[in-house]
């Protein structure tokens, strides 16, 4: 009965009904009712309410609780025979943070088809075997495809004012489902229907220009908004107060907190005293807050410096001031953004001495991104190699720590292989691709074999390989890299969670969380495939069975059709020598991608193999005869000592022996009748 009175009196300020569903104030289904900041849609044909996401996708509103200022929307289903949400292309559900809506803390989100690059929400994520997502997958026919995926997770939303997004992405989770107020102890049969609960902010009084605009809000007067200069609102008259839940000027009752205006003239002296007291109190509060803020800032800087200095080499990075970096990047101008990712953003800058720099900054509030930036500084302080991006220093005094490194002018290998404008403007020849592959492999081999302690990169991919003005490669982005302590070097390291990028992840690492240098070798094998084919590691524009490049190429290898998928730009005008070496690199990639890591070559062996292939091309540049004998493939470069060294490398205590490991280029080039004769040789690097 309480709500029926405002409905009767309010007229057009409420939007009435959508079918049989009342639309409470401030929700608005047309320009003539409700508050326009709270827009939703009503389909009169189906009597269905919708809320549009930031991407413009409509989500069905299944229920509205006006007193609690909450609504529930229906999450998207999983696309049949896949484990992708229907809103995958728009990267999940998100709300414009300028709107008065956000996700409540009542939701349990089930994340499906996941890598370890989870949603960037600051909440605990459960990916264990008893996670609720398994109950959903095993009991939902439409999610049957998710049973083939090894990782799913769940988390409870935080309900903060920043909870505007549930993100799905190829580098994170590719599907999701949501339940409101889910009791984890209930069997699946008693779970409620899927839903995602949102709340809306308390609305202010309706805006107005003249008193005529307030005709639908009884007991109100069009008056200046005290909190927004130049804005007018229908403010309740004396003796009434604004009730946002009902959208009505309710009558004041004693004890309700409604202020009564009394025509009393306070003493001037008393007023002055109060003003002085308020001013003094405000000043003291300001000083105290400033002191606490400065203390917290200094503590944060000290903690970050301790983290950076805690490395075995004892080396530390040059410290840049925040003022210096802000000036260099024009205060992080959007025009200077070079790229962005899950960690944050990279900006171009120019120091006072004219040095071009790239500045990596973690996303605000992203603790994981901050940790990755600090980790990258520690890693780069300990390495020095021509094929690794060079660290210039860091800045730790701002809210987000900054990583400053050399500016590499020619973009990423990904851009040159997959962006049509870059391919036309700066095509990469086969020899240049081999040089890039060798430089990358050489840099990774340095991390694995020469750095002390060894370092595993863990995120090798074409977008992390930068090209300088000479198109020479520099490996970048060490945010996920890990120092391997001496106690771990003899055995596989067990990691708590897989990290990396979908399409490049070592399947053994992904499934067993066992980290070795051969995980980087696997990722590099994917890079070799991209260099050969100019196809992306993951591409949803390909057929469903060919989305993953490795899966697609293994089928090609089994059918011995490697030359049919080589980048046409490479085959056009290629010599017989170049075509043969393309096959050889295809075999090398296949070896790197062996599902059993103990069968993969080391990074050093890969680098030597590519170096040998490069020498073949340069040595045969004046001829076009096919490679048909061992002497063409560096037989003279192999010594007994090197064979023994490689044999030791391949028989590590925790890795196990590798049987009949052959030189990939040699295996490709020699005639079949010579295979048997070669089978008893110790084939290392470039035999």
Q: What is the mean pLDDT of the chain?
A: 75
DSSP per-residue codes, 295-359: HHHHHHHHHHHHHHH-STT---PPBPPHHHHHHHTTTT-GGGEEEE-SSEEEEEEE-TTS-EEEE
Q: Is residue 186 part of a domain?
A: yes
pLDDT in tens, 69-126: 899 999 998 888 888 999 888 888 888 877 888 888 888 989 898 875 543 433 467 7
Quote the CA–CA distance of 127 and 282 in Å, as a whole number: 48
Q: What is the CATH number of the domain that holds 473?
A: 1.10.510.10
Report helix, strand and coil shares of the chain as percent, to nearest 5.
35, 20, 45
Annotated binding site for ATP: 360
The DSSP code for 199 is: E
pLDDT of residue 255: 53
pLDDT in tens, 146-175: 887 667 888 877 544 446 678 787 777 888
Q: What is the CATH number of the domain that holds 368?
A: 3.30.200.20
Q: Are 391 and 459 contained in the same domain?
A: no
DSSP per-residue codes, 104-132: -TTEEEEEEEE-S---S-SS--B-STT-H
| Contact call for residues 155 and 121 (beta carbons, < 8 A) | yes
Element (H, E) at 319: none
Q: Are 399 and 418 contained in the same domain?
A: no
Q: Are 433 and 575 contained in the same domain?
A: yes
- Active-site pick, 87, 459, 608, 632: 459
Quote the CA–CA distance of 103 and 61 in Å, as a whole number: 14
Strands (E), 297-355: 337-340, 344-350
pLDDT in tens, 595-634: 888 999 999 999 999 999 999 998 876 454 444 433 344 4
Using the predicted structure, report yes or no on whether residue 412 has a pLDDT greater than 60: yes
How many other C-beta atoms are found inside a 10 Å radius of the C-beta of residue 656? Answer: 13
Per the structure, the complete domain to which residue 58 belongs is given by 53-200
Q: Are 435 and 567 contained in the same domain?
A: yes
| Tally of structural domains, the chain | 4
CA distances from 32 to 27, 247, 271, 315, 569 (A): 11, 15, 45, 66, 60
Structure tokens at 274: 């109060």
Q: Are 543 and 589 contained in the same domain?
A: yes
Q: Are 354 and 310 contained in the same domain?
A: yes
Whether 459 is catalytic is yes
Q: Are 397 and 509 contained in the same domain?
A: no
Taking the CA of residue 36 as centre, how many other CA atoms within 13 Å lie in the half-sphere pointing to its CB? 4
With cut-offs at 50, 70 and 90, classify the pLDDT of residue 496: very low
Quote the CA–CA distance of 568 and 579 in Å, as a whole number: 12
pLDDT of residue 168: 82
Q: Are 463 and 374 contained in the same domain?
A: no
Strands (E), 17-103: 17-18, 21-22, 41-43, 48-52, 58-65, 70-73, 93-94, 101-103
Using the predicted structure, report yes or no on whether residue 9 has a pLDDT greater than 70: no
Using the predicted structure, report yes or no on whether residue 409 has a pLDDT greater than 70: yes
Q: Is residue 352 part of a domain?
A: yes
Structure tokens at 464: 């992390």
Residue that terminates a domain, selected from 200, 226, 241: 200
With cut-offs at 50, 70 and 90, classify the pLDDT of residue 420: confident
- Residue 382, C-beta contacts closer than 8 angstroms, at least 6 positions apart: 311, 312, 313, 315, 451, 455, 483
Q: Is residue 660 part of a domain?
A: no
Using the predicted structure, report yes or no on whether residue 270 has a pLDDT greater than 70: no
Q: Are 225 and 111 contained in the same domain?
A: no
> What mean pLDDT comes out for the span 435-445?
96
Q: Are 473 and 456 contained in the same domain?
A: yes
Q: Is residue 283 part of a domain?
A: no
pLDDT in tens, 341-385: 656 678 899 999 999 999 988 766 555 555 666 666 666 777 788
Q: What is the pTM assigned to this prediction?
A: 0.52
How many other C-beta atoms are found inside a 10 Å radius of the C-beta of residue 431? Answer: 15
Residue that terminates a domain, selected from 611, 629, 664: 611
Q: Is residue 674 part of a domain?
A: no
Q: Are 69 and 173 contained in the same domain?
A: yes
The DSSP code for 423 is: H
pLDDT in tens, 196-224: 999 888 888 888 889 988 887 888 999 98
Residue that terminates a domain, selected from 581, 611, 641: 611
Can you tell me which residue has the tokens 């690059």? Answer: 117
- Residue from 386, 399, 388, 389 nearest 357 by CA: 389
Quote the CA–CA distance of 529 and 632 in Å, as a whole number: 24
- Residue 555, C-beta contacts closer than 8 angstroms, at least 6 positions apart: none
Q: Is residue 621 part of a domain?
A: no
Quote the CA–CA distance of 411 and 389 in Å, as a whole number: 13
Through-space distance between the first and last CA atoms of the chain, rounded to whole angstroms: 90
Q: Is residue 35 part of a domain?
A: no
Structure tokens at 207: 């805006």
Q: Is residue 635 part of a domain?
A: no
Q: Are 460 and 371 contained in the same domain?
A: no
Structure tokens at 479: 């945010």
Torsion angle, CA of 409/413/419/422, rounded to 10 degrees? 50
């Amino acid at each position: 009965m309480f709500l029926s009175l405002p409905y009767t009196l309010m007229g057009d300020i409420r939007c009435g009904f959508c079918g049989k569903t009342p639309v409470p104030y401030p929700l608005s289904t047309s320009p003539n009712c409700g508050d326009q900041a709270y827009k939703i849609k009503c389909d009169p044909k189906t009597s269905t309410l919708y809320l549009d996401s930031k991407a413009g996708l409509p989500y069905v509103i299944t229920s509205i609780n006006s007193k609690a200022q909450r609504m529930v929307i229906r999450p998207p289903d999983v696309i049949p025979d896949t484990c992708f949400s229907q809103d995958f292309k728009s990267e999940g559900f998100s709300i414009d943070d300028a709107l008065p809506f956000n996700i409540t803390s009542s939701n349990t989100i089930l994340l499906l088809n996941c890598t370890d690059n989870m949603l960037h929400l600051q909440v605990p994520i459960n990916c264990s075997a008893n996670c609720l997502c398994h109950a959903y997958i095993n009991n939902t026919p439409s999610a049957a495809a998710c049973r083939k995926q090894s990782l799913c997770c769940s988390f409870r939303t935080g309900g903060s004012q920043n909870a505007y997004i549930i993100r799905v992405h190829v580098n994170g989770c590719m599907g999701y489902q949501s339940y409101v107020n889910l009791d984890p102890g209930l069997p699946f049969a008693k779970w409620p229907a899927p839903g995602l609960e949102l709340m809306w902010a308390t609305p202010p009084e309706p805006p107005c220009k003249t008193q005529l605009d307030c005709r639908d809000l009884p007991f109100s007067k069009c008056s200046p908004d005290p909190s927004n200069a130049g804005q007018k609102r229908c403010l309740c008259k004396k003796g009434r107060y604004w009730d946002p839940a009902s959208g009505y000027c309710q009558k004041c009752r004693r004890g309700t907190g409604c202020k009564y205006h009394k025509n009393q003239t306070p003493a001037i002296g008393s007023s002055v005293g109060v003003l002085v007291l308020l001013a003094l109190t405000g000043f003291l509060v300001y000083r105290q807050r400033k002191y606490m803020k400065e203390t917290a800032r200094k503590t944060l800087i000290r903690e970050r410096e301790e983290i950076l200095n805690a490395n075995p080499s004892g080396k530390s990075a040059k410290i840049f001031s925040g003022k210096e970096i802000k000036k260099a990047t024009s205060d992080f101008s959007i025009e200077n953004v070079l790229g962005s990712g899950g960690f944050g953003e990279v900006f171009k800058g120019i120091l006072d001495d004219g040095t071009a720099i790239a500045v990596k900054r973690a996303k605000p509030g992203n603790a994981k991104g901050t940790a990755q930036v600090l980790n990258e500084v520690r890693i780069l302080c300990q390495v020095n190699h021509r094929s690794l991006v060079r660290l210039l220093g860091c800045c730790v005094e701002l809210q987000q720590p900054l990583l400053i490194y050399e500016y590499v002018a020619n973009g990423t290998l990904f851009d040159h292989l997959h962006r049509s404008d870059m391919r036309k403007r700066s095509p990469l020849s086969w020899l240049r691709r081999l040089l890039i592959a060798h430089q990358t492999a050489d840099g990774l081999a340095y991390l694995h074999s020469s750095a002390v302690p060894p370092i595993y990169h863990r995120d090798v991919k074409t977008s992390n390989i930068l090209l300088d003005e000479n198109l020479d490669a520099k490996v970048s982005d060490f945010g996920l890299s890990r120092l391997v302590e001496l106690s771990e070097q003899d055995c596989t390291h067990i990691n708590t969670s897989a990290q990396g990028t979908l399409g490049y992840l070592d399947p053994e690492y992904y499934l067993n969380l066992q980290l070795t240098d051969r995980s980087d070798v696997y990722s590099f094998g994917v890079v070799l495939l991209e260099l050969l084919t100019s196809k992306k590691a993951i591409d949803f524009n390909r057929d469903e069975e060919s989305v993953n490049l490795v899966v697609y190429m293994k089928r090609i290898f089994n059918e011995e059709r490697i030359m049919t998928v080589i980048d046409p730009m490479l085959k056009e005008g290629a010599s017989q020598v170049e075509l043969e070496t393309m096959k050889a690199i295809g075999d090398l990639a296949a070896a790197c991608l062996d599902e059993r890591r103990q069968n993969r070559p080391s990074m050093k062996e890969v680098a030597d193999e590519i170096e040998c292939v490069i020498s073949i091309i340069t040595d045969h540049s004046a001829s076009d005869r096919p490679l048909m004998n061992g002497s063409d493939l560096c037989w003279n470069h192999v010594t007994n000592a090197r064979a023994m060294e490689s044999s030791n490398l391949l028989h590590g205590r925790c890795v196990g022996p590798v049987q009949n490991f052959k030189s990939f280029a040699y295996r490709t080039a020699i005639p079949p009748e010579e295979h048997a004769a070669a089978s008893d040789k110790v084939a290392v690097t470039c035999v």
